């Protein structure tokens, strides 16, 4: 996969340091010696004691954060160009700025834990182990895409890594995610579902309905509000009476997290997963103690692009605001500074890594789907029913 | 009347001979003046809402991004600046909630114009459209009427995938108590939206995103602020004698192109722009079929239980002995909308599909 290819190249970038250096140089990418880093901001909590600000990480992890986020960033920027070149059609919602949420979450969970998200799903797909080639193929409607070109930007899936998409209807993924958690509990899987939604979706009734049921039935669901402060063109204060999304679960504990800090995200997700899997206090009588397995994690994050490629993103926020966040809170820069401060790699080595990532991100030629794909995967079992093209006497198919 | 000359050919102009043929088919001809005004569908809708808001203080606009953002598709551009936040409301992304609120406001006598960013999102609110709006006048024996308009883009756009491409005409038009309109040209857009806003009953107003930017010639009459088109009347866009083609919205343009192609092969097609899906103008459709004895119905939505199916049933019921050929249906493919461009093209009716079906109805081989 693109990322493993990258790591083998990076060892050749590292030259042995001159012995005049007083600090002993650590090797890039293989060192798993624990380093402890404090999150930039404390956690704010609701109905629960927050986790510690001291996060355990390692050189290997920090470097993989850097590489993976740089890859995600480049992919989104390349998608911007491809959209403007009309190679990507329809809607295209980009995630650049929010990479730390996808990366931090992956670091805290396994591929048996499920993730479900909205249409802003390219980087989440990559985080789950999806390939760059499959992603770009899908964006361009090719048969080598992760949904064979039939889904498009908003409908990436990777079931073998428990990634359930990729949903176009705002808020719909909330009950769906609780349903995944239901199945995990039903099948006694010792796994958790992370359901991501935005500040725009946070007001959807179905979210509260699903949360209520999840809390009643003790489902291992963690709801993650990716608060990028704008629901398309509407700022959070114009759409929510209470934009304290981590508190909106009422009886459900919540945590507010600096979503631009990958380590804070990792810590919060680890904390939430442990909480969701824990047995209740004193045996199985949960109801008497109002112990709630769910949590709402509010990730304070930011998207540099507009809502989608059809939205310039600057009619409802100032360019100063956007560049301000980029200068002060950019997630990749934060990890870059950490890496340099801990002497894990030099500035030049990191820049070289970014150049390698740029090269990874180029779109290969691949075929468009066969016309017969029009009729495939409508059902699992079609019972021999007929389906039709626009002219039913000209084009029809029997569904197997 | 203006409709035939009113449709600006996107792929070039009308040939002189085709213009002559069309004008001879007009009920009351007006010459195609070089200085005639044109208007995009977008501007037509915007001006219609503007004028109705100006005329009646009970009319207000509600929806996502309709105010400060100027409308996701710019249909409500300038309205917030002109009428203020008491008449133009930006809502959170919560269709069930704000639709219910709109219907409640209509119960109390206000006249909401509720925008769905696309009608796909109306599914989140469909209980309110049907159970709270459509049925109320009946259930209350006339005490509570619901003068609300639900409007927004409907059907396929370009490459927006399965969850954003569905046509809801058949679903809404099957519900008694609702009125369902589908404009094609700028004149349709103005006249039908003004009629919808003035109407005392709930109206589902199905626009089309790809038509918003299209320009159509528009008459002085249609530009007048009192202009209104009747609800429940279809329009004969092009007269013909060999085969009747019925359709609505974007497909009207396709049907007119198909009629051009058929004319080159000596088949004279009559194109009916339904304008109103409910009430359906069965009289005009049947009168046409009794004249031509052949029917091709066209729609963009899914075929099963569609608008075309209802039209076919009506014609078979009312005009069976006039039919010289089986009725033909051209509709969207019976599949969720694929994203890939080549598959999307296969999933939607194309001009050649309409031509082929019309020739079949005339027992002409390909």
Q: What is the set of domains in chain A, with CATH numbers?
A: 38-369 (3.40.50.970), 371-399 (no CATH)
Quick one: pLDDT band at residue B365, thresholds 50, 70, 90?
low
Report chain A residues whose CB lies below 8 A from the CB of B328.
Answer: 393
Interface size between A and B, measured as CB pairs under 8 A: 159
The two three-digit tokens of residue A43, written as one number:
């956690």
Contact present, B170 and B21 (Cβ < 8 Å): no
Q: How many domains does chain B have?
A: 2
User: Both B212 and B92 in a single domain?
Assistant: yes
Domain termination site, one of B169, B197, B223: B223
**pLDDT band with cut points at 50, 70 and 90 for residue B27:** very low
The pair of structure tokens assigned to B212 is: 């918003």
Q: Which of B51, B52, B64, B95 is catalytic?
A: B95
Residues 6+ apart with CB under 8 A from A105: A115, A127, A194, A224, A265, A266, A269
Contact A150 B343 (CB under 8 A): yes
Interface test with A, best of B74, B93, B356 (most A CBs within 10 A): B93
Evaluate whether residue B24 is within a structural domain.
no
A21 interfaces chain B, CB cutoff of 8 Å: no
Test the A interface: residue of B69, B153, B335, B352 with most A CBs within 10 Å: B335
B35 pLDDT tier (thresholds 50, 70, 90):
low
pLDDT of residue A280: 38
B223, B245, B268 - which closes a domain: B223
The token pair that represents B170 in the structure block: 């058949």
Look-up: residue for tokens 């046409």?
Answer: B288
Contacts of A239 in chain B (CB under 8 A): 90-93
Give the integer Cα–Cα distance in Å for B358 and B366.
Answer: 11
> Which of B203, B223, B243 is the C-terminal boundary of a domain?
B223
| Predicted local distance difference test score (pLDDT) of residue A122 | 98
Query: How far is A80 from A312, CA to CA, in rounded Å?
Result: 12
> What does DSSP say about strands B328-330 and A386-388: parallel, antiparallel, or unpaired?
unpaired
pLDDT at A360: 82
Q: Give the closest residue to B110 by CA, choosing from B62, B179, B71, B66.
A: B62
Q: What is the pLDDT of residue A32?
A: 87
Return the higher-pLDDT residue of B6 and A325: A325
Annotated catalytic residue B52: no
CA-based nearest distance A239→chain B, Å: 5
Question: Minimal Cα–Cα distance from B296 to chain A, Å?
Answer: 11
Check if the beta carbon of residue B299 is closer than 8 Å to that of residue B332: yes
Q: Which of A91, A150, A394 sits opposite B340 (nearest CB)?
A: A150
The minimum CA-CA distance between A316 and chain B, rounded to whole Å, is: 7
Nearest CA in chain B to A397: B334
Looking at the fold, whether B178 and B242 belong to one and the same domain comes out as: no
* Partners of A203 in beta bridges: none
Determine, for residues B347 and A200 on separate chains, whether the beta-carbon distance falls below 8 Å.
Answer: no
Is there a single domain that holds both residue B206 and residue B251? no
Q: How close does chain A come to B337, measured CA to CA in Å?
A: 8
Give A89 to chain B, closest Cα distance, Å: 5
Q: Which two tokens stand for residue B22?
A: 């069309």
Which is it for strands B59-63 and B111-115: parallel, antiparallel or unpaired? parallel
Query: Among B107, B95, B160, B161, which Cα is nearest to B134's?
Result: B107
Strand blocks (E) in chain A: 35-38, 44-46, 54-57, 114-116, 193-198, 221-227, 230-231, 234-235, 254-258, 295-300, 386-388, 396-398
Question: Phi/psi at A386 (nearest 5 deg)?
Answer: -100, 145
Q: Do B330 and A390 touch (CB under 8 A)?
A: yes
Sort out which chain B residues have CB atoms less than 8 A from A387's CB and list them. Answer: 333-335
Q: Is A151 on the interface with B (CB under 8 A)?
A: yes
* This prediction's pTM: 0.89
Phi, then psi, of B259 in degrees rounded to 5 = -65, -40
Asked if residue B295 is part of any domain, the answer here is yes
Per-residue pLDDT of chain A (400 residues; tens, 9 = 90+): 333 332 333 333 333 333 334 344 545 666 889 999 999 999 999 999 999 999 999 999 999 999 999 999 999 999 999 999 999 999 999 999 999 999 999 999 999 999 999 999 999 999 999 999 999 999 999 999 999 999 999 999 999 999 999 999 999 999 999 999 999 999 999 999 999 999 999 999 999 999 999 999 999 999 999 999 999 999 999 999 999 999 999 999 999 999 999 999 999 999 999 999 985 333 344 444 467 889 999 999 999 999 999 999 999 999 999 999 999 999 999 999 999 999 999 999 999 999 888 888 865 567 899 999 999 999 999 999 999 999 999 999 999 9
Is B288 part of a structural domain of the chain? Answer: yes
**pLDDT for the residue numbered B124:** 98
Is the domain of B128 the same as that of B248? no
A370 touches chain B (CB under 8 A): no
Q: B51 with B113: CB under 8 angstroms?
A: no
Question: Bigger pLDDT: A284 or B152?
Answer: B152
Contact A369 B338 (CB under 8 A): yes
The answer as to whether B27 is a domain residue is no
Is A378 within 8 Å of chain B by CB?
A: yes
What phi and psi, each to the nearest 5 degrees, are found at residue A43?
-85, 145
Residue of A nearest to B96 (CA): A205
DSSP 8-state symbol, B343 = H
Angle A270-A307-B98 (CA atoms, 0-180°, nearest 5)?
Answer: 95
Same domain, B121 and B163: yes
Same domain, B184 and B62: yes
Give the single-character DSSP code of B8: -
Alpha-carbon distance of A28 to A11, in angstroms, equals: 7
Are B242 and B300 in the same domain? yes
Residue of B64, B341, B350 with shortest CB distance to A390: B350
Among A205, A240, A391, the residue to mutate for chain B (most B Cβ within 10 A): A391
| Pair B208, B251 in one domain | no
Rounded average pLDDT over B331-348: 98
Q: Based on the fold, state whether residues B250 and B205 are members of the same structural domain.
A: no
B-chain residues within 8 Å CB-CB of A391? 330, 349, 353, 356-357
Please list every residue in chain B whose beta carbon sits closer than 8 Å to the beta carbon of residue A375.
335
Q: Does A232 touch chain B (CB under 8 A)?
A: yes
In a domain, B3, yes or no: no
Domain span holding position B254: 235-362
- Residue-level pLDDT at A278: 83
Cβ–Cβ gap B341/A89 under 8 Å: yes
Q: Among residues 163-202 of chain A, which lie with CB inside 8 Å of chain B?
A: 167-171, 200-201
- Are B97 and B153 found together in one domain? yes
Residues B194 and B342 grouped into a single domain:
no
Residue B8 lies in a domain: no
> Are A232 and B64 in contact (CB < 8 Å)?
yes
Cβ atoms of B325 and B294 within 8 Å: the answer is yes
- Name the token pair of A18: 């001159």
Beta carbons within 10 angstroms of residue A208's beta carbon: 16
Mark yes or no for CB contact B347/A231 under 8 Å. no
- The CATH number of residue B81's host domain is 3.40.50.970
Say whether both B295 and B341 belong to one domain. yes
At B38-64, the pLDDT tens digits run 999 999 999 999 999 999 999 999 999
pLDDT at A109: 97
pLDDT band of B345, cuts 50, 70, 90 = very high
Q: Which residues contact B225 (CB under 8 A, 6 or more apart)?
A: B51, B54, B55
Cα separation, A214 vs A298, whole angstroms: 18
Residue B340: closest C-alpha in chain A:
A141
Tell whether the model's pLDDT for residue B16 goes beyond 60. no
Residue A283 near chain B (CB below 8 Å): no
Q: Tell me whether residue B51 is one of the annotated catalytic residues.
A: no
Name the residue among A91, A168, A204 with its Cβ closest to that of B93.
A204
pLDDT > 50? residue B26: no
CB pair distance less than 8 Å for A395 and B341: no
Q: How much is the pLDDT for B175?
A: 98
pLDDT in tens, B181-207: 999 999 999 999 999 999 999 999 999
Q: Which residue has the tokens 């997630």?
A: A331
Strands B295-298 and B243-247: parallel
B25 pLDDT higher than 50: no
Establish if A239 touches chain B: CB-CB under 8 angstroms.
yes
CA distance B328 to chain A (A): 9
How many percent of chain B have pLDDT more than 90? 89
A374 contact residues in B (CB cutoff 8 A): 333, 335, 338, 343, 346-347
Phi and psi angles of residue B236, each rounded to the nearest 5 degrees, phi first: -85, 105
- Express each pLDDT in B59-108 by its tens digit: 999 999 999 999 999 999 999 999 999 999 999 999 999 999 999 999 99
């Amino acid at each position: 996969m693109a990322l493993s290819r990258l790591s083998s190249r990076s060892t050749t970038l590292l030259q042995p340091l001159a012995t005049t250096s007083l600090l002993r140089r650590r090797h890039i990418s293989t060192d798993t010696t624990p380093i402890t880093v404090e999150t930039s901001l404390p956690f704010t909590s609701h109905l629960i004691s927050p986790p510690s600000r001291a996060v355990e990480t390692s050189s290997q992890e920090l470097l993989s954060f850097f590489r993976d986020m740089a890859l995600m960033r480049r992919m989104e920027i390349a998608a911007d160009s491809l959209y403007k070149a009309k190679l990507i059609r329809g809607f295209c919602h980009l995630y650049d700025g929010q990479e730390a949420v996808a990366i931090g979450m992956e670091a805290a969970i396994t591929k048996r834990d499920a993730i479900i998200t909205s249409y802003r799903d390219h980087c989440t797909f990559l985080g789950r182990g999806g390939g760059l080639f499959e992603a770009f193929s899908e964006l361009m409607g090719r048969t080598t895409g992760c949904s064979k070109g039939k889904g498009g930007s908003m409908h990436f899936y990777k079931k073998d890594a428990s990634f359930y998409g990729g949903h176009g209807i705002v808020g719909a993924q909330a009950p769906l995610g609780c349903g995944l958690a239901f199945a995990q509990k039903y099948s006694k899987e010792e796994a958790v579902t992370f359901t991501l939604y935005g500040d725009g979706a946070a007001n959807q009734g179905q979210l509260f309905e699903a949360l209520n049921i999840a809390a009643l039935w003790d489902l291992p669901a963690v709801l993650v509000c990716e608060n990028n402060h704008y629901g398309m063109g509407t700022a959070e204060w114009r759409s929510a009476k209470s934009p304290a999304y981590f508190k909106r679960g009422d009886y459900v504990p919540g945590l507010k997290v600096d979503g631009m800090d990958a380590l804070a995200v990792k810590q919060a997700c680890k904390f939430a997963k442990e909480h969701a899997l824990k047995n209740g206090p004193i045996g199985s009588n949960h109801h008497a103690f109002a112990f709630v397995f769910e949590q709402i994690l509010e990730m304070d994050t930011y998207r540099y692009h507009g809502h989608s490629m059809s939205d310039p993103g600057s009619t409802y926020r100032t360019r100063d605001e956007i560049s301000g966040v980029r200068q002060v809170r950019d997630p990749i820069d934060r990890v870059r500074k950490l890496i340099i401060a801990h002497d894990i790699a030099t500035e030049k080595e990191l820049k070289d890594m970014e150049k390698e990532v740029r090269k990874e991100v180029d779109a290969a030629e691949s075929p468009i789907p066969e016309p017969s794909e029009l009729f495939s995967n409508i059902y699992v079992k079609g019972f021999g029913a007929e389906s039709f093209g626009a002219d039913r006497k000209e084009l029809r198919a029997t569904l197997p | 009347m203006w409709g035939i000359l009113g449709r600006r050919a996107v792929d070039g102009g009308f040939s002189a001979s085709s213009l002559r043929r069309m004008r001879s088919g007009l009920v009351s001809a007006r010459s195609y003046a070089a200085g005639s005004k044109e208007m995009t569908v977008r501007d037509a809708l915007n001006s219609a809402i503007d004028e109705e808001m100006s005329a009646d203080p009970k009319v207000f606009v509600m929806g996502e991004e309709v105010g400060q953002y100027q409308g996701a598709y710019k249909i409500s551009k300038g309205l917030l600046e002109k009428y203020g936040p008491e008449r133009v409301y930006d809502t959170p992304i919560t269709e069930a909630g704000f639709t219910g609120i709109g219907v409640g406001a209509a119960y109390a006598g206000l006249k909401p114009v509720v925008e769905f960013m696309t009608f796909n999102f109306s599914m989140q609110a469909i209980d309110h459209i049907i159970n709270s709006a459509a049925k109320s006048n009946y259930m209350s024996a006339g005490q509570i009427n619901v003068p609300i308009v639900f409007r927004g883009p409907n059907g396929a756009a370009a490459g927006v995938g399965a969850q954003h491409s569905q046509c809801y005409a058949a679903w809404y038009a099957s519900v008694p108590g609702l009125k369902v309109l589908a404009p094609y040209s700028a004149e349709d857009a103005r006249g039908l939206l003004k009629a919808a806003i003035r109407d005392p009953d709930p109206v589902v107003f199905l626009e089309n995103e790809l038509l918003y930017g299209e320009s159509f010639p528009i008459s002085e009459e249609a530009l007048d602020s009192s202009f209104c088109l009747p609800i429940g009347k279809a329009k004969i866009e092009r007269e013909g004698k060999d085969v009747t083609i019925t359709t609505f919205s974007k497909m009207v343009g396709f049907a007119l192109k198909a009629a051009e192609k058929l004319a080159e092969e000596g088949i004279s097609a009559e194109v009916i722009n339904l304008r109103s899906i409910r009430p359906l103008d069965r009289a005009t459709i049947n009168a046409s079929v009794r004249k031509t004895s052949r029917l091709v119905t066209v729609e963009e939505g899914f075929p099963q239980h569609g608008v075309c199916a209802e039209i076919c049933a009506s014609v078979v019921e009312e005009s069976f002995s006039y039919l010289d050929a089986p009725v033909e249906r051209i509709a969207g493919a019976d599949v969720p909308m694929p994203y890939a461009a080549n598959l999307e093209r296969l999933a939607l009716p194309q001009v050649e599909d309409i031509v082929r079906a019309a020739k079949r109805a005339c027992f002409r081989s390909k």
